[in-house]
Amino acid sequence: MLPSLFPLSQENLFMNSQPLENSLRSAFLISIVILTLMTAALRWIVAGPVAGAVPLLGAAAIALAWLVLNRTVPMLGIVLAIMPMHYIALALGTFYGLPHMITMATAMSEIPLLLLTFILWRRNGLRLGAPDWFLVAFFTIAVIRTAFGGGIKGFVEDFSFLIPYAAGRVTVLTGAQDRLWAKRAVWIAAVLSAVGLVEFFILGNGPRRALYALVFPEEGLPDFFGASGLEGMREASIMSTPTVFAALCMVALIIWWVYLRNPIPAAIVFGGLLTAVTRSAWIGTAVAISVLALRLGQKKRLAIYALLGILVFAAAVPILGIRDYIFFTRTGQDDSQQVHRASLAAGLDHVVSHPLGTGAESVGPRIVARDSAAMHIESSYLILAAQYGLLAGLCFVGFVLTAIHRTWIICTPLGYVATAILMGFGIMMFFLPMHDDFPLDCWVWFPIGLTVRSALDQGTPAVSGSPQRLGRGTA
């Protein structure tokens, strides 16, 4: 009779403790939410809307703090995922007259990522390797040079890539998280490319010109949205410049080649890459994919997609209005091509004549935007060497080369992706100033840092668990 009279005996209570705990936790959370809403409504009625919002903001802050501390890696994934939307949020906020948009943009990008990096560093630790020591030397020389002259804002922008690289160096992903993040990254890039294709083929450049005319009335639509021989406008989707958008498409195609097989997102991203009309991104993508195919033994797949890419490109030339652009590029009559060559020559002369550098914001696009007579250099390597000195530039090159070596020896999907990104992006940095766009840096340098950690932590890979066979992923 005892079991029937006392169904919750010690044994049954122990066996049902977990469901009971979950039930009590859910009831407690629901009670907290209801109490917060009731308090906010009461304060709204008695003291007005501002007072009513205080409990809601407090509860939101507590919930956010709990998520950051207990779901750090998923929160890091969310922050990285929304980075490509950073520029359009800044532009729309400025358009609607929101105050302090630059400060708010920083608070919503660099600071959250820096906080998550600090938390992960405290949990997972960090062991420095050759790429990191080159980076430390580069940073130290730049700090010393900036102390003797240079713009602080330019210095911060030049080294913004350190935050996502450091985030990758202190992050450990499971195999499932690695594959999930790769899949979502490709589809995010596909959505952004689809938005760009809609603007390019349907909306035209009218909405973007109107937005720039209202947000930047003195400047209007920048010249880099055009090109010699291009009938329309280079596409940037919702990102800052066409070159940044093209680099993002390149990264997405590299990830797709290793992790996915579904051709739909790749086709959309490839369309975005074409409409960005960026030669260095085209070359970087071709080199990176070719290296991947050769390393993975996928020569047949490379031949098939190379043929398809050439056919699509040839068919798209009249549609994109780049017939004259291609002709000018082949004959050397393209204005931007001549500017690139002149800037490389001028940059080399400047570095040789100023081996100690001339300080941050002394050369490059930032200073040229304010002073048309300033030195115009378009290569990231030469800009950094010209600003912080020849030794600093060599340290940055050493960082890139040692990072390629470290990622090359990791024969995992992540290792293949990181090596290809470094090669493709390294080519782009030779021709363009690609190092100082923070949203793009998050997609470029995070996987590189993640792979360097895997190479250095012997027996403790950055992506734990046995990876699936390459090419068997789904989209």
Q: DSSP letters along 12-76, please?
A: HHHHTHHHHHHHHHHHHHHHHHHHHHHHHHHHHHHH-HHHHHHHHHHHHHHHHHHHHHHSHHHHH
Query: What's the Rg (C-alpha) of the chain?
Result: 26
What pLDDT does residue 101 have? 63
Mean pLDDT of the 295-319 span: 92
Look at residue 4 and tell me if it is in a domain: no
CA 447/CA 161 separation, integer angstroms: 12
* 125, pLDDT greater than 70: yes
The pTM score is 0.84
* 315, pLDDT greater than 50: yes
Percent of the chain having pLDDT more than 70?
Answer: 77
Look at residue 354 and tell me if it is in a domain: yes
173-174 and 463-464 beta bridge pairing: parallel
Q: In terms of Cα–Cα distance, which of 72, 160, 58, 150 is closest to 116?
A: 72
CB atoms closer than 10 angstroms to residue 86: 20
Mean pLDDT of the 119-134 span: 92
Which are the contacts of 368, defined by CB distance < 8 A and separation ≥ 6?
374, 375, 376
What pLDDT does residue 143 have? 94
Query: 138 near 357, Cβ under 8 Å?
Result: no
Which are the contacts of 442, defined by CB distance < 8 A and separation ≥ 6?
79, 80, 83, 113, 164
Mean pLDDT of the 74-95 span: 85
Q: In terms of Cα–Cα distance, which of 343, 366, 358, 428 is closest to 156?
A: 366
pLDDT bin (cut points 50, 70, 90) of residue 386 is very high
| 323-331 and 299-320 helices, crossing angle to 10° | 110
Look at residue 469 and tell me if it is in a domain: no
The label of the residue with tokens 């043929």 reads 307
Residue with the bigger pLDDT between 34 and 227: it is 227
What pLDDT does residue 384 have? 93
pLDDT bin (cut points 50, 70, 90) of residue 170 is very high
What pLDDT does residue 339 have? 75
Mean pLDDT of the 446-465 span: 73
Using alpha carbons only, what angle is made at residue 280 by residues 348 and 237, rounded to the nearest 5 degrees? 125
Query: 302 near 258, Cβ under 8 Å?
Result: no
- Collapsing DSSP states into helix, strand and coil, what is residue 466? coil
Look at residue 432 and tell me if it is in a domain: yes
pLDDT bin (cut points 50, 70, 90) of residue 110 is confident
* 374, pLDDT greater than 90: no
Look at residue 363 and tell me if it is in a domain: yes
What pLDDT does residue 188 have? 95
For residue 244, how far is the Cα from the chain centroid?
9
Helix ranges restricted to H, 297-389:
299-320, 323-331, 335-353, 365-370, 380-388
- Collapsing DSSP states into helix, strand and coil, what is residue 87? helix
Condensed to tens digits (0 to 9), the pLDDT of residues 185-227 reads 999 999 999 999 998 888 877 777 777 776 666 666 777 777 7
What pLDDT does residue 130 have? 92
DSSP 203: I
Q: What does the mean pLDDT of the chain come to?
A: 81
What pLDDT does residue 2 have? 42
Of 17-31, 80-94, 260-274, 384-398, the range with the lowest mean pLDDT is 17-31
Look at residue 40 and tell me if it is in a domain: no
* 134, pLDDT greater than 90: yes
Query: 351 near 318, Cβ under 8 Å?
Result: no
What phi and psi values does residue 473 have, to the nearest 5 degrees? -70, 165
Mean pLDDT of the 73-97 span: 84
Give the tokens for residue 388: 């912080």
Look at residue 34 and tell me if it is in a domain: no
Mean pLDDT of the 310-339 span: 81
Which range of residues forms the domain containing residue 207?
73-464
pLDDT bin (cut points 50, 70, 90) of residue 381 is very high
What pLDDT does residue 87 have? 83
> Quick one: CA torsion of 294, 296, 299, 304, rounded to 10 degrees?
-120
DSSP 173: E
* 161, pLDDT greater than 90: yes
Mean pLDDT of the 443-461 span: 82
Look at residue 439 and tell me if it is in a domain: yes
Q: In terms of Cα–Cα distance, which of 193, 139, 73, 79 is closest to 441?
A: 79
Residue with the bigger pLDDT between 470 and 181: it is 181
pLDDT bin (cut points 50, 70, 90) of residue 121 is very high
* 11, pLDDT greater than 70: no
DSSP 231: S
* 469, pLDDT greater than 90: no
CA 382/CA 364 separation, integer angstroms: 9
State the DSSP H helix or E strand holding residue 463, giving kind and residue range, or none if neither. strand 463-464
Percent of the chain having pLDDT more than 90?
Answer: 42
Query: How many domains, in total, are found in the chain?
Result: 1
Mean pLDDT of the 237-262 span: 93
